[in-house]
Amino acid sequence: MSEKNSIIYIKEKLDAEVIKRNCEGEICEERLDPIMVAHKYKDPTISLICALFAYGNVKQIVKFLNSLDFELLKKSDEEINEALKNHYYRFQKSEDVIALFIALKRVEEKSTLRDIFKSGYDNNRDVVEGINALIKALQEIYPHSSMGYNFLISQITLKTKGSGALKRWMMYLRWMVREDNIDMGLWSGVDKSDLIIPLDTHTFNVSKKLGLLNRKSYDLEAAIELTAKLREFDESDPLKYDFALYRIGQEKLLID
């Protein structure tokens, strides 16, 4: 099979997988995903918490997210401290969880996550600049630094090669901007064609096996390269393939 025919074949198979996965039943107790918790609230701030804690074992992620009282985002700093003093998740101690809730509460009192994102994104239609604006806002509105917290919200990214793929932030943007049976489409004013794929190990490995990704390093540059390839399949909505690629890897499926 020629390279051209091979790519056409892969696109057809991925398109079929997208249709198969784009249904309400895809997110359920048997096939857990952090977006399942976000779907209950359909709120950008709660969704960001769900996305930022989306690392590790999916059962533990969902269990932790379900243990959180999101009404705390409307409460005083003292009430947040008291309610979350025993909450922790992997790298994040209770003070890190508390810091995130207080920072997000304060951000929402002054602006919105969408408006802060767009203040960076609108400069060059660059989602990384938008994410940097959000990280900066969180850092400034409630200064807190620890290994766990810095990992949770990430650091401002100024390069693509050798830097983290910003997977959890990119996933959050997919949830906010795209709208189908999986993604919620809660934001307007951001073009889904500008999104970058949330590159995780499943997507990275599957994409390399399918010949969609040549880069060997797992970094932001690889995410950009893969997104560019998927843009050849759908210029206006390259991330429609993300969830299908993720599930293929997670469920150890092969496209025959």
Under a CB-based contact definition with an 8 Å cutoff, are residues 80 and 101 in contact? Answer: yes
pLDDT, one tens digit per residue, over 154-191 is 999 999 999 999 999 999 999 999 999 999 999 999 99
- What's the pLDDT score for residue 30? 82
Q: How far apart are the first and last CA of the chain?
A: 14
d(CA 185, CA 63): 25
- What's the pLDDT score for residue 6? 82
d(CA 138, CA 118): 15
Give the global pTM. 0.95
Under a CB-based contact definition with an 8 Å cutoff, are residues 174 and 242 in contact? Answer: yes
- What's the pLDDT score for residue 83? 98
For 196: left if phi > 0, alpha if psi spans -120 to 50, otherwise beta; the answer is beta
In the predicted model, what is the mean pLDDT of the chain?
A: 94
- What's the pLDDT score for residue 254? 63
Q: Tokens 């918490």 sit at which residue?
A: 49
Torsion of CA 234, 236, 239, 241, to 10 degrees: -30
Burial degree of 158 (CB within 10 A; 0-12, 13-18, 19+): exposed
- The values of phi and psi at residue 89, to 5°, are -150, 115
- What's the pLDDT score for residue 253? 72
Q: Residues of the chain whose pLDDT is less than 70?
A: 1-5, 254-256
Q: In sequence order, what are the residues at sequence separation of 6 or more whose Cβ sits closer than 8 angstroms to the Cβ of residue 210?
A: 10, 255
Which one-letter DSSP state was computed for residue 73? Answer: G
